[in-house]
């Protein structure tokens, strides 16, 4: 009851004209960005971090949440019309969505995706309303050792669960931790890795790191390998669904969120694994199995509903524990830090207006997405024709504006460039970007919590494991670390070596990575094989 | 097969893109560059190991030179975490070297606008870097509206756009609009420079 009251007040916040406007801007911007090749929602939120200097926190987060949901939707448009997924979450959609579009059923595919997002977002957000306050109240007593354990879990999970190579994941994580070390030690005021520079003593602003790794690094990387001769999108009309399509799609829409939400909440790579699981599930359950690979509508409806629900799940762990499980959540966490707000169990007590306004705006955004996107789909499709030089020049332009706005110093632009080069090199050598960015954002906080815990225990390492909660978390961490060894001991599982066999093999062995290339490749091989 | 339908450019004279759906699919062996790819790749990743090792040493060295005799609070000082991170960097660099020598290699990141079947286009990257640094060098001197426009035009030029009428117009429009939005709406001041003084 209390929750409903708070939610009601949240709607009061979210439905003010100004916030409604920010939600609409966020949703439209997010969709546009999801459609545009080369920009993901994480980069979009990173590029928009400078607005945190001007907007009230509630408005800013309402906008960011709109971008997140909108980006999920926009990515599917690219998948369906171009066969090149805009986001990792939309990789699976291309398998069925693109054949549908080629058969002249693009309108139905887009409609199945749009309504799937609506249903997924709605169910996911309802689950968020039900679960988040409970999780927050359970977690409200957790102390320094528990926080530290959660952060260790985040570090280990992003490096071990995601990506194809653990050692490269760890390398990326350590690079991020090193960047996080730069500046004054918060407890003693000692300078670390500043080399006497006053500018570095403040640390490197997380805006610069995020924008550098995502935006500048990506632009330079694309510039080195720009594809000449763009793929032409398939023209499409206004989305609609026939009765037969509806009959086939409604169950996948409802099943998807149940898979997506829990996966979004745990640090297992956001939407990539659950969308794949949803695809496999729908294929097994479908009466039209022979159509899969040639344009089965279930294969669009299920994964898309899953993707949206996983975004809601991500927000549960971000808001209640301060634990970012995807790159977008990590950058949103950085935005919280910009405002000096610490997400975590206390957030629901200290900032109820902000939290519930944000949650209510998710409902608003979900509805806005459906209302705006069904009629606007042909417009979005036209965005795919933007000249690539303008697109990437624009990204660099806004990256520079954002970095300069941090403190108005040219040195920040040079730092941005250096971190951009780092991002370029990481892409070139297959080091995933996500562990680095999570380490930059969580690293300093993790150090503080660890030192606080050890202070309480007077330096004894048992101070890190003196609560049941932290012990449980470390058990999970150990299981993740030892997983390659454990897997060999488990009977009856085929080796995890052949990703092409993944079609019948749920994600347990599918090393779905943060890097898009791997999964796109897999998906293409799969697709080609099924032709 | 031109990059665009509306005549932005005389596209750079490389061969047209590969077949739409299959461009990236054969990424790993083909991508490394002009030279002998496999051998070169192996060696270049060892360079990453060396850099990580160097970074580890740097972090360790920086950590042990922190003075801890005063202002220490609690049993764990400001050195502990840097020592840990530096040490782990050394370990990971060695593990990575082992992985590379055993034939492992990082998966080069693909993407929708990325064609890994051709060698890296360093000229574009350098031009792009030049445009970026030009903005950094000029922003304090000529103001953001002008330096931002130079950045955008330069970057578009680097990426192959050659429309000498539309490119500068788009660049100037975007730059001035952004300046006005940041200065007047968001309250984030960007240097206007002499140009904005005149207007």
ipTM summary value: 0.78
* Contact call for B121 and A228, based on CB within 8 A: no
Q: Which of A53, A125, A128 is nearest to A335 (CA)?
A: A53
What is the model's pLDDT at position B55?
Answer: 94
- Asked whether residue B19 is domain-assigned, the answer is no
Q: Distance (Å, rounded) from C-alpha A234 to C-alpha A95?
A: 15
Q: Name the residue with higher pLDDT: B172 or A524.
A: B172
Q: For testing the chain B interface, which of A197, A389, A444 should be mutated: the one with the most B CBs within 10 Å?
A: A389
Q: For testing the chain A interface, which of B106, B120, B148, B151 should be mutated: the one with the most A CBs within 10 Å?
A: B106
What is the model's pLDDT at position B154?
Answer: 92
What is the model's pLDDT at position A163?
Answer: 66
Assess whether pLDDT exceeds 80 at residue B166.
yes
Contacts of B95 in chain A (CB under 8 A): 167, 170
- Asked whether residue A434 is domain-assigned, the answer is yes
CA A514, A516, A518, A524: dihedral to nearest 10 degrees? 140
- Asked whether residue A274 is domain-assigned, the answer is yes
The tokens for B136 are 């950094």
> Residue A307: which domain range?
2-226+243-489+496-530
- Asked whether residue B155 is domain-assigned, the answer is yes
Q: Distance (Å, rounded) from C-alpha A98 to C-alpha A118?
A: 21
Task: Judge residue A191's burial from the number of C-beta atoms within 10 Å of its C-beta, 0-12 exposed, 13-18 middle, 19 or more buried.
Answer: buried
- Asked whether residue B115 is domain-assigned, the answer is no
Chain centroid, CA A466 distance in Å: 32
Assess whether pLDDT exceeds 60 at residue B7.
no
CA A218, A219, A221, A223: dihedral to nearest 10 degrees? 160
Q: Which of A310, A247, A291, A263 is nearest to A95 (CA)?
A: A291
Cβ atoms A272, A89 nearer than 8 A: yes
* Contact call for A192 and B63, based on CB within 8 A: yes
- Asked whether residue A45 is domain-assigned, the answer is yes
Q: Which range has highest mean pLDDT (A285-289, B129-133, B187-191)?
A: B129-133
Question: Taking residues B119-138, what's their average pLDDT?
Answer: 89
What is the model's pLDDT at position B23?
Answer: 36
Instruction: Tell me, yes or no, whether B72 and B126 share the same domain.
Output: no
DSSP H or E segment with residue A191: strand A191-192
DSSP H or E segment with residue B175: helix B166-180
- Asked whether residue A236 is domain-assigned, the answer is no
Radius of gyration, alpha carbons of chain B: 24
Q: Which residue of A has its CA nearest to B113?
A: A227
Going by the DSSP 8-state scheme, the letter that residue A290 receives in this structure is G
- Asked whether residue B57 is domain-assigned, the answer is yes
- Asked whether residue B170 is domain-assigned, the answer is yes
Cα three-residue angle B56-A457-A140, rounded to 5 degrees: 95
Q: Distance (Å, rounded) from C-alpha B140 to C-alpha A411?
A: 11
What three-state secondary structure class fits A210?
Answer: helix
* Contact call for A455 and B151, based on CB within 8 A: no
Q: Which of B66, B99, B152 sits opposite A192 (nearest CB)?
A: B66
Q: Distance (Å, rounded) from C-alpha A13 to C-alpha A18?
A: 10
Q: Distance (Å, rounded) from C-alpha A395 to C-alpha A484?
A: 39
Assess whether pLDDT exceeds 90 at residue B85.
yes
Cβ atoms A76, A508 nearer than 8 A: no
Cβ atoms A381, A81 nearer than 8 A: yes
What is the model's pLDDT at position A524?
Answer: 40
- Asked whether residue B111 is domain-assigned, the answer is no
Cβ atoms A390, B161 nearer than 8 A: yes
- Asked whether residue A233 is domain-assigned, the answer is no
* Contact call for A168 and B148, based on CB within 8 A: no
* Contact call for A165 and B5, based on CB within 8 A: no
Q: Which residue of B has its CA nearest to A164?
A: B107
Q: Which residue of B has its CA nearest to A433?
A: B109
What is the model's pLDDT at position B151?
Answer: 93
Cβ atoms A30, A77 nearer than 8 A: no
Contacts of B75 in chain A (CB under 8 A): 454-455, 458-459
Q: For testing the chain B interface, which of A218, A386, A400 should be mutated: the one with the most B CBs within 10 Å?
A: A400
Q: Which of A379, A516, A430 is nearest to A39 (CA)?
A: A516
Contacts of A387 in chain B (CB under 8 A): 3-4, 6, 8-9, 161
> Residue B42: which domain range?
32-101
On whether any CB of chain A is under 8 Å from the CB of B17, the answer is yes
Instruction: Tell me, yes or no, whether B96 and B127 share the same domain.
Output: no
* Contact call for B77 and A387, based on CB within 8 A: no
Cβ atoms A83, A94 nearer than 8 A: yes
Q: For testing the chain B interface, which of A159, A175, A197, A224 should be mutated: the one with the most B CBs within 10 Å?
A: A224
Residue A51: what are its φ and ψ, rounded to 5°?
-65, -20
- Asked whether residue B182 is domain-assigned, the answer is yes
pTM, two decimal places:
0.79
Beta partners for B114?
A226
What is the model's pLDDT at position A527?
Answer: 39
Assess whether pLDDT exceeds 60 at residue B183.
yes
Contacts of B180 in chain A (CB under 8 A): none
* Contact call for A229 and B62, based on CB within 8 A: no
The tokens for A396 are 């660099």
On whether any CB of chain A is under 8 Å from the CB of B103, the answer is no
What is the model's pLDDT at position A353?
Answer: 86
Min Cα–Cα distance to chain A from B33, Å:
11
Q: Distance (Å, rounded) from C-alpha A470 to C-alpha A478?
A: 12
Domains identified in chain B, total number:
2
What is the model's pLDDT at position B14?
Answer: 38
What share of chain B in percent tops pLDDT 70? 71
Whole-number Cα distances in Å, B189 to A189, A296, A404 = 30, 52, 10
What is the model's pLDDT at position B9?
Answer: 37
Q: Distance (Å, rounded) from C-alpha A2 to C-alpha A134?
A: 12
Q: Distance (Å, rounded) from C-alpha B175 to C-alpha B173?
A: 5
Q: Distance (Å, rounded) from C-alpha A76 to C-alpha A307?
A: 10
Q: Which residue of A has its CA nearest to B112?
A: A84
Helices (H), strands (E): how many in chain A? 22, 2
Beta partners for A226?
B114
What three-state secondary structure class fits A51?
Answer: helix
Question: Taking residues B163-176, what's their average pLDDT?
Answer: 90
Q: Distance (Å, rounded) from C-alpha A494 to C-alpha A286?
A: 25
Tens of pLDDT along chain A (531 residues)?
578 888 888 888 888 888 888 888 888 888 888 887 767 778 888 888 877 777 888 888 888 888 888 887 787 887 788 776 656 677 788 888 888 888 888 888 888 888 898 999 999 999 999 988 888 888 777 888 888 998 898 888 888 776 678 889 999 999 999 999 998 887 777 888 888 788 888 888 888 898 898 889 988 988 888 877 666 677 777 777 778 888 888 888 888 889 888 888 877 667 778 888 888 888 888 888 888 878 888 888 888 899 889 888 888 888 888 888 888 888 888 888 888 888 888 888 888 888 888 888 889 889 988 888 778 877 887 777 788 888 889 889 988 988 888 788 888 999 999 999 999 999 888 888 888 988 998 888 889 889 888 888 887 888 888 888 889 889 988 988 888 777 777 665 444 443 433 333 333 333 333 333 334 444 444 434 333
Interface of B with A in 46-65 (CB under 8 A): 48, 52, 55, 58-59, 62-63
What is the model's pLDDT at position B27?
Answer: 38
What is the model's pLDDT at position A492?
Answer: 54
- Asked whether residue B117 is domain-assigned, the answer is no
On whether any CB of chain A is under 8 Å from the CB of B7, the answer is no
Q: Which residues contact B43 (CB under 8 A, 6 or more apart)?
A: none
Domains identified in chain A, total number:
1
The tokens for B19 are 């077949």
Contacts of B175 in chain A (CB under 8 A): 397
Q: Which of A102, A122, A101 is nearest to A112 (CA)?
A: A101
Q: Which of A151, A147, A207 is nearest to A179 (CA)?
A: A207
What three-state secondary structure class fits A430?
Answer: coil
Using pLDDT thresholds of 50, 70 and 90, give the confidence band for residue B94.
very high
What is the model's pLDDT at position B8?
Answer: 36
Cα three-residue angle A80-A30-A218, rounded to 5 degrees: 80
Instruction: Tell me, yes or no, whether B145 and B91 share the same domain.
Output: no
CA A203, A207, A213, A218: dihedral to nearest 10 degrees? -150
Q: Distance (Å, rounded) from C-alpha A198 to C-alpha A196?
A: 6
Using pLDDT thresholds of 50, 70 and 90, give the confidence band for residue B153.
very high
Cβ atoms B139, A372 nearer than 8 A: no
What is the model's pLDDT at position A268?
Answer: 66
- Please give the biggest Cα pair distance in chain B: 68
Average pLDDT of the residues of chain B: 75
Q: Name the residue with higher pLDDT: A249 or B33.
A: A249
């Amino acid at each position: 009851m209390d929750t409903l009251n708070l939610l009601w007040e949240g709607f009061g916040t979210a439905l003010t004209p100004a916030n409604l406007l920010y939600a609409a801007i966020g949703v439209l911007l997010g969709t546009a960005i999801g459609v545009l090749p080369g920009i993901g929602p994480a980069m979009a939120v990173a590029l928009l971090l400078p607005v945190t200097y001007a907007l009230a926190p509630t408005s800013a987060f309402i906008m960011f949440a709109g971008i997140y949901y909108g980006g999920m939707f926009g990515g599917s448009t690219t998948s369906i019309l171009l066969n090149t997924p805009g986001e990792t979450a939309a990789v699976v959609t291309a398998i069925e969505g693109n054949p549908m579009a080629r058969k002249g059923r693009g309108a139905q595919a887009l409609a199945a995706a749009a309504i799937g997002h609506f249903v997924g977002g709605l169910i996911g957000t309802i689950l968020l309303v039900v679960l988040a306050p409970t999780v927050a109240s359970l977690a409200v007593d957790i102390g320094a050792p528990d926080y530290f354990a959660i952060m260790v879990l985040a570090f280990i999970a992003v490096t071990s669960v995601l990506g194809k190579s653990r050692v490269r994941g760890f390398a990326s994580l350590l690079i991020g931790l090193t960047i996080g070390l730069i500046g004054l030690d918060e407890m003693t005021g000692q300078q670390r890795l500043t080399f006497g520079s006053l500018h570095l003593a403040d640390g490197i602003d997380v805006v610069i790191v995020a924008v550098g790794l995502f935006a500048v690094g990506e632009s330079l990387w694309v510039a080195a390998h720009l594809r000449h001769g763009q793929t032409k999108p398939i023209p499409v009309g206004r989305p609609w669904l026939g009765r037969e399509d509806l009959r086939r799609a409604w169950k996948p829409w409802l099943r998807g969120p149940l898979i997506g939400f829990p996966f979004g909440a745990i640090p297992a790579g956001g939407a990539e694994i659950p969308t794949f699981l949803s695809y496999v599930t729908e294929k097994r359950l479908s009466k039209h199995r022979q159509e899969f690979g040639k344009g089965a509508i279930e294969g669009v409806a299920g994964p898309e509903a899953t993707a949206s629900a996983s975004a809601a799940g991500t927000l549960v762990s971000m808001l209640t524990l301060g634990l970012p499980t995807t790159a977008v959540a990590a950058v949103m966490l950085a935005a919280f830090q910009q405002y000096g707000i610490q997400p975590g169990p206390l957030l629901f007590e200290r900032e109820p207006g902000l939290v519930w306004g944000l949650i209510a705006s998710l409902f608003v955004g979900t509805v806005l997405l459906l209302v705006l996107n069904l009629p606007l789909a042909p417009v979005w499709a036209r965005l795919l024709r933007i000249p690539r030089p303008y697109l990437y020049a624009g990204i660099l332009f806004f990256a520079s504006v954002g970095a300069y706005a941090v403190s108005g110093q040219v040195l920040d632009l040079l730092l941005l460039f250096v971190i951009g080069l780092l991002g370029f090199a990481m892409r070139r050598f297959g080091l995933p970007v996500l562990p680095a960015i999570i380490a930059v954002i969580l690293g300093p906080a993790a150090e503080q919590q660890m030192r606080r815990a050890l202070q309480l225990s007077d330096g004894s390492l048992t101070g890190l494991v003196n609560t049941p909660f932290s012990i449980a978390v470390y058990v999970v961490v150990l299981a993740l670390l030892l997983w390659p060894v454990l897997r060999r001991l488990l009977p009856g599982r085929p080796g995890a070596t052949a990703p092409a066999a993944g079609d019948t093999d749920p994600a347990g062995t599918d090393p779905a990575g943060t890097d898009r290339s791997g999964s796109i490749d897999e998906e293409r091989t799969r697709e080609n094989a099924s032709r | 097969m031109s990059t665009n339908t509306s005549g932005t450019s005389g596209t750079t004279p490389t061969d047209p893109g590969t077949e739409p759906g299959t461009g990236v699919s054969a990424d790993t062996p083909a991508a490394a560059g002009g030279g002998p790819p496999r051998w070169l790749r192996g060696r270049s990743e060892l360079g990453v190991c060396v850099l990580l090792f160097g970074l580890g040493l740097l972090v360790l060295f920086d950590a042990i030179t922190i003075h801890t005799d005063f202002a220490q609070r609690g049993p764990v000082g400001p050195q502990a975490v840097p020592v840990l991170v530096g040490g782990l960097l050394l370990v990971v660099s060695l593990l990575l070297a082992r992985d590379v020598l055993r034939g492992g290699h990082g998966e080069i990141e693909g993407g929708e606008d990325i064609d890994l079947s051709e060698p890296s286009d360093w000229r574009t990257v350098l031009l792009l870097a030049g445009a970026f640094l030009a903005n950094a060098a000029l922003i304090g001197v000529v103001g953001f509206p002008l330096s931002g426009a130079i950045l955008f035009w330069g970057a578009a030029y680097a990426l192959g756009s050659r429309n000498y009428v539309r490119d500068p117009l788009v660049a100037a429009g975007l730059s001035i609009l952004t300046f006005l939005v940041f200065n007047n709406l968001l309250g984030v001041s960007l240097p206007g420079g002499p140009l904005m003084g005149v207007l």
